[in-house]
Amino acid sequence: MTFDLKTALKYIILFLIGMGVLYLAFRGQDLARIGLEIKKANYFWVVTSAISVLIAHVLRALRWQMLYKSIHYNVRFWNTYHAVIIGYLANLALPRFGEIGRCSVMQKVEIVPMFASVGTVITERLFDVLVLLLTAAAMVMFQYDLVSGFLHDTIYLNLFYKISNIGLLWLIGIAVLLVGIIFICIYFLRQKFSKKLLRVFVNLRQGFGSYRKLKQKGLFLVYTLGIWTFYLLSMCFAFSAIPSTSGLHFDAAFTAVVFSGFAMAAPVQGGIGVFHWVVAQALILYGVSFKDGLAYATIIHSSQVLLILFLGSISLLIVLSKEAKIK
């Protein structure tokens, strides 16, 4: 990735958007009381929650290693683990850069073609999206009376209002323009880089076919469910950290995981701001005040960021030392 002025401005704007959402979430709240709530937190449960997230990261590395082996790249577990953690570290600085970052790590320490790695990452992300959509459907199905009002009033009506203000003709025009730009880009890229694009396509296709070639598809699915189960457990354990959420149960954690999953998909560094607002909104459904929901979201988000900063720094040093030996 080339870091020019345009790229830098893009990520600065995304960061400012995240900070803006964070400001709006905390605006008008009693910050002193929220700070006191965080100070009084039971950090045994905060650490337990962070350990659950770490286990999920380990399972993600094991799952990714399976995809590599299915396309005949016998990569080592510790390299996939370090790449995953470095990817999360990169996402704290540049949204969505983590996927490219971890593929770059594997290219350097395991000599795996970049786009073969990208194909495996997209494959595993598709399974994560599928699980998220299924859990969201289950949330609506089993807690319809609870979440339907929020989905209708806060999500649907706001989106409908904004889209209706844009106008149908404008939307059609924008869609046609985007499709036209995509086809023009593909045409010129094929003319200029046909051989290179062919090599990229072959590598991507190899990565995309990694799941189909798996001999232990059941184990892959177990890892996938394990990742999301430990995300769920991390939410549950963190409930016990502060009195205002200690009475919440599995159903609240389930909803919080679904809401936070969509929040982390937002193109903002580490989900900052968006994560806090969305999780606090989810907990309102279970009788928790928005202020206390923000305190909970701040605790769990901060613990995960600190975990990634600590482990990511270690992994980065290890990978850099390996690169130096290879050179």
Task: Specify the pLDDT at position 264.
Answer: 80
The tens digit of pLDDT for each residue in 37-71 reads 667 889 899 999 999 999 999 999 999 999 999 88
Q: List all residues 6 or more positions away from 17 whose beta carbon is below 8 Å from its beta carbon.
A: 268, 273
DSSP summary character for residue 3: -
Average pLDDT in the 242-257 region?
Answer: 91
Q: What is the H or E stretch that residue 173 is in?
A: helix 168-208
Mean pLDDT of 267-288: 82
| Residues sharing a CB contact under 8 Å with residue 272, sequence separation 6 or more, in sequence order | 15, 18, 19, 21, 22, 301
The DSSP-derived string for 24-91 is HHHTTS-HHHHHHHHHT--HHHHHHHHHHHHHHHHHHHHHHHHHHHHTT----HHHHHHHHHHHHHHH
Nearest to 298 by CA among 252, 242, 248: 242
Residue 16 banded pLDDT, cuts 50, 70, 90: low
Residues 6+ apart with CB under 8 A from 295: 34, 37, 38, 242, 244
Judged against a pLDDT cut of 60, whether residue 7 lies above it is answered with no
Provide the pLDDT for residue 270: 66
Tokens of 45: 């449960």
Segment 186-234, tens digit of pLDDT? 555 555 544 444 444 444 555 556 778 888 899 999 999 999 999 999 9
Residue 19 banded pLDDT, cuts 50, 70, 90: low
pLDDT value, residue 49 = 95
- Going by the DSSP 8-state scheme, the letter that residue 2 receives in this structure is -
Determine the pLDDT at residue 2: 45
Task: Give dist(CA 45, CA 273) in Å, integer.
Answer: 23
Q: Which two tokens stand for residue 228?
A: 């999301």
**Least confidently predicted of 89-98, 108-117, 123-132:** 89-98
Instruction: Give the contacts of 139 (CB within 8 A, at least 6 positions apart).
Output: 147, 254, 255, 258
Q: How confident is the model at residue 320 (pLDDT cuts 50, 70, 90)?
A: confident
307-316 pLDDT, tens digit each:
988 898 899 8
What integer pLDDT is reported at residue 11 of this predicted model? 47
What is the reported pLDDT for 1? 44
How far apart CA 10 and CA 153 sit, in angstroms, is 31
Mean pLDDT for the stretch of residues 281-301:
89
Q: What is the DSSP string of 208-232?
A: HTTTTT-S-HHHHHHHHHHHHHHHH
Top pLDDT among 1 and 240 is at 240
The per-residue pLDDT for 245 is 92
